[in-house]
Structure 1
Amino acid sequence: MANNLITKEQAQSIIENNDIKTPQDIMGALKNMFRDVIQEMLENEMDETLGYERYDHDQPKSNYRNGYSQKKVRSSLGEIDIDVPRDRNADFEPKIVPKRKKDISDIEKQIISLYARGMSTRDIHEQMNELYGINVSADMVSRITDKLIPTIKEWQGRPLEPIYPFVFMDAIHFKVRTEGRVINRAAYVIIGVNLDGMKDVLGIWIGENESSKFWLNILNQLSSRGVKDVLIFSVDGLSGMKEAIQTVYPRAEIQRCIIHQLRNSFKFVSYKDYKEFTRDFKEVYRASSEDLALLKLDELEDKWGAKYPHALTSWRKNWDVLCPFFKFPDDIRRIMYTTNVIENLNRQYRKVTKSKCIFPTDTSLQKMLFLATDKATKKWTQRYRGWDKILNQLTILYNERITPYIG
């Protein structure tokens, strides 16, 4: 699994170079990194003003560097001391930090905001050049957005609630450049619904291939973050997930997404039969009970089995994880039988990443997804409709598991 935001070697280098021992040391290192970025921008601005780079002795000169003046500015990381270059003719008018400007937090916020919208480093360079008349290299953008890494690691490891009635798990795929080649990376997203009926993204993990071991690691992380119980998992048919859930949360119901299963079945059906086939299939997954659903599945196989065997065999094969929702009331069924809640979030991810065909690193993908998640979840201010009724139903069904956590 590739869910580390920085390598061990990079982390060790940061610790050694900055003598990091406490959280305050981390903030100090971040301030130094941001100060270096601003300093580099100022030097680039001076080069442009003078028409030549520093230490370039071959160019004819009508103006010269004339040392530095110290300035204290405010950023989102706190106050930072910078050295503003001076020129002999006093022509230099810095744009990144104007002479009377004391607060530069808007610059870094602007860069992170542009990054969050899915803009490439080249687009950010052009935007910052247009807005401020400054050159922001891809390396600068990366260094500024790398300030998010401690925040992401803290978010990914934050304490969670002890029980979630519903947990949804799904994946979305991206292309990432690794060791000189482009590979497919999956971002595994987990959303939980708490006892108040509110959604929350519990975490995002970047990986190449899923397996029971992979999912066991992720679920153990949830457990170590305080999740003692999950009533119902709604999942896609990801490899190894069922076995891992049964190991960490053996009392949980596992419901495979009916919508995904239907899509997989319908792709085998010809256009001329599609309407009739889908209408017949509704009799299965809209049945009032599991017994009736199995009866309707028998009828479906009698009618269509010979013509579309591949559309139906997976239902028999996976019936144990497709049928659990039949034992629940309709209000609970509507929540648990689909992972649409994650698919809606995935649409937000695709929207902000559409300009990036290939991510340069796993870390760049993680930063983008974190920012998109932060933006999307700020709108999650309403609990599930009819939640009071749903919670009452869940309390009746799982009284001894829910009651200790209510009130």
Structure 2
Amino acid sequence: MKQRVPASMRTRESLTALIEGRLSSPGGRSELVKLATRLILEEALEAEARDALGRDYYERGAEEGQGYRNGHRTGRLKTAEGAIEFSAPQIAGRADPFRSDIREHAKGRTEALEELAVEMLARGLSVRDIEDAFRADDGQLLLSRTAVSELGEQLWRDYQDFAKRDLSGYEIVYLFVDGIAERIRPGQRREPVMAAWGFTATGARVLLHLMAGSKEDAETVSAFFQDMRARGLGDPLLVVSDGAPGVIKAIETCFPRSARQRCLAHRMRNLASKVPEDLWPEVKARIQAVYQAPSRAIARDLAKGVVEDFGRELPSAVACFEDDFEACIAHLRMPVTHRRAIRTTNLLERLFVEERRRLKIIPNAWGERPVLKLMFGAMTRAAERWRRVRFTDFERRQIEAVRQELNAEYQASDTTSPTSRQAPATDRISSTSRT
């Protein structure tokens, strides 16, 4: 009975597992595109077979001479991403042997199929997109309009499933949150699109949520977090974000048992803008030594030296350095092997350098849905750059010890003041002498 399950269903499961980090793949982006291309082709072939037979899987009532399903045959399609194997349904019992027009058509349209696959990864295929990919040279549509519509609806349901899926199965240790300002509405100012991804307890990276919001205030970001909470997201060990006040407040309100890490890439850019160019190499080296210290206690001692040596000459830079200092060194509580991967939110920003370059020449291609599609596609297409974090038994014991410390701090703190567990955003180095 298992063999009678449509091949596309198994392909869809593999694609979902790869996107969600449950299926590791050294090919990254290439494997994603291969699976997506295979899925589109298999679903189209199955729809063609359904049109030819006049009935779906498991449906009875075949007319004499109409034929019946007779298993699958493996096919190969050469693409820019390499050869793709797919399963094509076979039909027997017909007066005239069944020949798939789609298989012949696909051989010369691999580029169109790959483009369609990348768009599918962005979860927003339109009926016209699918029709264009499966239209013969003479303009004839190789699939019925019903089949095309059903294929598009299924792909959109995939996106909706992503947006609503249960998150309780993910034990997120490190949660990353960032917002990218995009022009969602024509003629209006740029608005943030919030993104959240994380590393699980097995080291897998998972895209968790995307949401367009009018601004990065505490109310909007809290709604973003609460949506994930409602779908089962637990307390991460560490939440990493930039220094937007609304984001910080929302983190401390929604995740009071978690440590908060200030993105050090953002902080270093802020500091660089406040230091003369000739002094920056020395100041940068001193500050990096603080942020990369073996422990928070040593980082605090080194920070005092930075304040003493540069306080008079560079008062604005030192004030920036002192601001939210405890959040800048929160990663030093975590296992040493994880620190480099968890101290910035640079991943999302790096992904959008290329996307924004492309959008400069498409001034009218804005809208909430296209932007969300673009973000989702960018995240999935860059999967090979999302390195896994290694979790050994020793590191798991370290993480458990940190979690117990955070729980104890939460219990001891004033629950009406979520910021009391770590230094508030305005705390200075002089007030952080505790170990």
Q: Counterparts of 1:328-343 in structure 2 under 5 Å?
A: 328-343=334-349
Shift of 1:200: 0.7
Find the partner of 1:155 among 151, 162, 183. Answer: 162
What is the alpha-carbon distance in structure 1 between the residues aligned to residue 198 and residue 393 of structure 2? 17
What is the alpha-carbon distance in structure 2 between the residues aligned to residue 207 and residue 233 of structure 1? 20
Find the partner of 2:178 among 170, 195, 204. Answer: 170
Find the partner of 1:214 among 205, 220, 230. Answer: 220
Find the partner of 2:47 among 64, 68, 78. Answer: 78
With over 3 angstroms needed to count, the CA separation of the structure-2 counterparts of 1:291 and 1:393, relative to structure 1, is: closer
With over 3 angstroms needed to count, the CA separation of the structure-2 counterparts of 1:78 and 1:239, relative to structure 1, is: farther
1:195 maps to amino acid: A
What is the alpha-carbon distance in structure 1 between the residues aligned to residue 282 and residue 325 of structure 2? 23
What is the alpha-carbon distance in structure 2 between the residues aligned to residue 322 and residue 376 of structure 1? 27
- SS in structure 1 at match of 2:261: strand
What is the alpha-carbon distance in structure 1 between the residues aligned to residue 392 and residue 338 of structure 2? 10
Aligned-residue Cα RMSD (Å) equals: 4.3
What is the alpha-carbon distance in structure 2 between the residues aligned to residue 334 and residue 323 of structure 1? 12
Q: Does 1:383 align with 2:388?
A: yes
Conservation of the 8 A alpha-carbon contact between 1:290 and 1:323: yes
Matched residue, 1:293: 299
With over 3 angstroms needed to count, the CA separation of the structure-2 counterparts of 1:327 and 1:383, relative to structure 1, is: closer
Q: Counterparts of 1:2-401 in structure 2 under 5 Å?
A: 75=44, 78-79=47-48, 102-103=101-102, 109=113, 112-113=116-117, 115=119, 148-160=155-167, 161-178=169-186, 181-347=187-353, 349-350=355-356, 353=359, 355-377=361-383, 379=384, 383-385=388-390, 387-398=392-403
Shift of 1:231: 1.1
Q: Deviations over 1:310-367 (max 9, x none)?
A: 2221232312322322333422433332223444444565476565445331111112
Shift of 1:115: 4.7
Query: Could you list the runs of 5+ residues in structure 1 that have no partner in the other structure?
Result: 1-73, 83-99, 136-142, 403-407
Shift of 1:369: 2.1
With over 3 angstroms needed to count, the CA separation of the structure-2 counterparts of 1:374 and 1:78, relative to structure 1, is: farther
- SS in structure 1 at match of 2:190: strand
With over 3 angstroms needed to count, the CA separation of the structure-2 counterparts of 1:113 and 1:313, relative to structure 1, is: same
What is the alpha-carbon distance in structure 1 between the residues aligned to residue 222 and residue 382 of structure 2? 28
- SS in structure 2 at match of 1:187: strand
1:264 maps to amino acid: N
What is the alpha-carbon distance in structure 2 between the residues aligned to residue 390 and residue 347 of structure 1? 34
Shift of 1:386: 5.5
Structure 1 length as normaliser, TM-score? 0.61
1:296 maps to amino acid: L
What is the alpha-carbon distance in structure 2 between the residues aligned to residue 346 and residue 267 of structure 1? 23
What is the alpha-carbon distance in structure 2 between the residues aligned to residue 371 and residue 147 of structure 1? 17
Shift of 1:277: 1.8
